Structure 1
């Protein structure tokens, strides 16, 4: 074979070997990416389902034999953050229940508390404010530390950049944050409604609040409607989350 053809053959073979290698790497990368997405989706759904029963701790194995290298590190990090965030939220809900917050507007409780100068309700509201303040501080601290932790992961730079951006987007569009903002508005309305109950004379009649002043009725009804509207908003967000999980099952 003439020398020039031998050189061309060698170069051509090298190119084909290079192309084959790139194709194999690309296929391997794609397969690993699909596996990574599958693991994240499966375990995220598991966390979301378990989180709905906030009386029990979330049980999830972060490590997965299907992943290795950078994908294993990223998956463990993401799933760990999701689990911890969900547990934080569930502890917050448990604290609210322990404060009897779900019975704030119970007319029987309020009628009884009226006779003791609303000591129970005053204590309840004070405790709920503290619970929400603590939870908000935890959210802010977690959000502030999350990006730093992601940037310190021992993974390829391009993965680190993409992961960091995904986390930033997630923080901006978190439904949990949306619900909490509504809950804070709800607490403010509860404070205002309680102020009306303390300001105006009322009694329980036919399981309803009966005021002696028309102005009190208007103020109470307006605030009560706003609380119901806020509760409806929270239910809509929660239902959307539940539907999204069910659609993936």
Structure 2
């Protein structure tokens, strides 16, 4: 074949290939392996202080009078103890006579307002909450639904810490039960903040004495990141009922000169 024919054939193939290339869509750009994945929306870290997290609350709970609160708790008992009879539910409920009317409190039920709430409604006020006679005999117990909330509440109660009385922070997730028992046996605590299960266990072990108790506060208005209150969580609510049903706690709440139940 002559050089002229070879050149013509080569040129024809080149033109045909170019026409085919022009008729195709340009290939999609391949994603580089090194490219970073799309950023995900971050949720608040559970260990973050409250001032750096969005903390919500429900005012409708604490704004009820004792009769409405007793009815509210009865509804929660019926919901979370659905496998029990009505008679059994009445035995494990929260008595109306235990509950103190705090409807006149006109501030939001958030942790930073808890000191004003305690000063107003705890018998003896701040003097009573900072005057402790013996180790392990607190004047007030504050029941919160989680360790995160316990830490937030204690942070707002630092002003109750004195040279002779402390605010106890008992977090079950980070502290062993024995550590809490040892702490209470060596420390005068006017106020102790913890979860219902840990309070229950401390009473069972005799580490938490109730002889000086004047107030039991349920941290009921607080909502977690899923907008659940303590009364919405079946396991936590049942632990609360178990704690309040312990003989030493129940006896103190039944006594007209003993302790009152506050719903914050």
**Does the alignment reach a TM-score above 0.5?**
no
Return the TM-score normalized by structure 2. 0.22
Return the TM-score normalized by structure 1. 0.23
Highest CA radius of gyration, 1 or 2? Answer: 2
- Which structure exhibits the higher relative contact order, with contacts defined as CA atoms closer than 8 Å and separated by 6 or more residues? 2
Query: Which is helix-richer, 1 or 2?
Result: 1
